[in-house]
Amino acid sequence: MVRYQRAFPFDAPFAISTAVVVTLRLGSLSFPPALHMDKVTYCVDADPRPTCVLDLASPDRTHRIQYRNTALQEQSHLLHDILDPSVSTGFRAFALDSEQNGIVVATGSASIHAYTIEKRWRVIQWLLPKEESGHGPNRQRSPGEQTTPVLPKGDPLALNRKLEDALADREGKLSNLRQMMEMVDVGMFEYNKEGVLLYGNEAFHRLSGVPRGNYEPMAWAGWVFEEDQTWLLGVWTRLTEGGSETFEMRWKGPDPSGKPEGQWVTAACVPTTDDSGNITTVSGCITDISAQKRSHADAVQRAEALERAQASELRFSNFIKHSNSAFYNFGIDRKVSKGRASKTWIKAHVNADPVQMRYCNREWFEVSGHPVVPFEEIEWSVFMNAANLAIVNDNWEAIVNTKKPNKFQFELKRTWNDGHGHEMRASVLSCSYPELGDDGSVVSVSGTLTDITHLKWAEKLQKQRTDEAVEAKRQHEAFIDMTCHEIR
């Protein structure tokens, strides 16, 4: 609740009539009924001129005085001339006549200014001596001069009309403000200390789900999640004790079944006080942060997925590092490959940019026979049999062009001993898998090298023994043929 007060405590005789008390309650405009005296006390109580307000509608003459300022309380004898029924003078008649407004100077009495507000409230103010002197309507009259009321230049009726016009203009502006508040997406509300909703705009009811027309105390608690109620009641207690709070919370919203996760909002709440400093209401606003919460949840999910991927990658990396199979991964230099000669690509590729091997494990060095060096120093010509470069080149062309996995065999430079004094070149089986980039071209190739030398040796040995058996059989058959011929 915000109060706008404007007053002129020492401005001629119109202090009370120009004291304006405007109550702004979230855009609504209301005036205190019958000009509550506690609302104008502050602007006239400090006035050194004795002042009182009479209720002309009161049937009891002794209880007509609704207000008297401090100066009049210290000079209460001044009331005798206007309240004593035994006194019947023009001075008293003027003071109590609601139709007469102005300044009058009575014989043997102080000068007074009197006027009526709303045809009920009679304001009487005793003027100071310096205001009674001089010329014009406020000059001091001689003892025998007739006491005729004289209207000042500032007619209270005209001032009241101006005041009404100003308040009407303010009411129009506040009406526009309230209309604007109904249009914004920020929920605004006001509760009294008992938890009764005094005001809520459209956005507040839409975000919270609290229905309009529900004036039960603490009804808002039924529209928050049960697990949050205890915490929110603690927040409410701190607000009613004078603290301000900014926090995030969830409302059930207008459709709890369709949106079980609730409506996330950021709430900012402040307590408001009256003139005495007592807390009367709690006002605040709520802002929809569902999009931020969804973004946060998505970010958390992505972070968790990244952590899982990193953990999986670490496990796979450790597996490859200690595996008995040779793994490798190297990049394709597409600039070199586009301009290569058909049969010299491997050689051109290696010579043009040896920094192509991205990763290989310990077993790869064992199988290939390549010295253990940093990845960027690995050269295919060091471990590959030059006679097999064409085989490797053709199969590599197939991988790059078809973009499909491929398997092929080739011999290495290193030799293998069968344990019986026989040596042969080592052979490997390459199983390669291309990785495609965003443009669909091959950007890297991963694969394994498997040592198949012993299989090649067994294959060679088997072929050798098969050839020997065939030769022995041929020789045996030739011997039998020759023997039969000699017998005949």
Residue 372 CB neighbour total at 10 angstroms? 11
pLDDT in single tens digits along all 488 residues of the chain: 333 333 333 343 334 443 433 333 333 333 333 344 444 566 677 778 888 888 888 777 655 788 888 888 888 888 877 776 666 566 677 777 778 887 776 545 567 888 888 788 888 888 866 444 444 444 434 434 444 444 344 455 665 666 667 777 777 777 777 777 777 889 999 999 999 999 899 999 999 999 988 889 999 999 999 999 999 999 999 999 999 999 999 999 888 888 888 899 999 999 999 878 899 999 999 999 988 988 988 999 999 999 999 999 889 888 888 888 899 888 876 544 444 434 444 444 444 443 378 889 999 998 988 888 988 888 877 888 888 888 888 888 888 889 899 999 998 988 888 777 788 888 999 999 999 888 888 888 899 998 888 888 888 888 888 888 888 888 888 888 888 877 87
Predicted TM-score (pTM) of this structure: 0.42
Residues with Cβ within 8 Å of residue 373, at least 6 apart in sequence: none
Instruction: Answer whether 81's CB lies under 8 Å from 65's CB.
Output: no
Cα separation, 114 vs 125, whole angstroms: 6
